[in-house]
């Protein structure tokens, strides 16, 4: 889920608050805002945001961050017993993508 800080009828913090009690706590939530103070970003992360992007942003960098978040979620869902080890396993990605280790 990608949320702007302020929405027409609510805020990203209000949505994060509603989702905090949901049955799917592993929802990936990226918040975008022009504000960038440490305390402000921490409020969103503490409320359950997975990532925070400061505007203006570079679209290629945001796409890369989304890919990383999705890869991490995929990785968390895989039990180690299902993975095939390809040679030396220096990192979890070595089992799936030996070309990037």
Domains in the chain: how many in total? 1
User: Model confidence over 43-62: pLDDT tens digits?
Assistant: 999 998 999 999 999 999 99
Q: Is 80 a residue whose pLDDT tops 60?
A: no
Query: For residues 26 and 69, which has the higher predicted lDDT (pLDDT)?
Result: 69
Residue 64: which CATH number? 3.40.50.2300
The DSSP-derived string for 3-53 is: EESB-SSSBHHHHHHHHTTSS-TT---EEEES---HHHHHHHHHHT-SEEE
**Strand (E) or helix (H) holding 54:** strand 51-54
- What pLDDT does residue 6 have? 84
Range of the domain at 80: 2-100
Of 73, 77, 78, the closest CA to residue 27 belongs to: 73
pLDDT (average), residues 27-37: 91
């Amino acid at each position: 889920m990608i949320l702007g800080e302020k929405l027409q009828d609510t805020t990203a913090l209000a949505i994060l608050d509603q989702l905090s009690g949901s049955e799917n706590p592993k929802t990936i939530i990226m918040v975008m805002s022009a504000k960038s103070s440490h305390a402000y970003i921490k409020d969103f992360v503490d409320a359950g945001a997975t990532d925070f992007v400061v505007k203006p942003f570079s679209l290629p960098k945001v796409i890369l961050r989304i890919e990383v978040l999705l890869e991490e979620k995929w990785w968390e869902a895989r039990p180690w017993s299902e993975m095939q080890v390809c040679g030396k396993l220096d990192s979890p990605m070595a089992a799936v993508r030996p070309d990037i280790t």
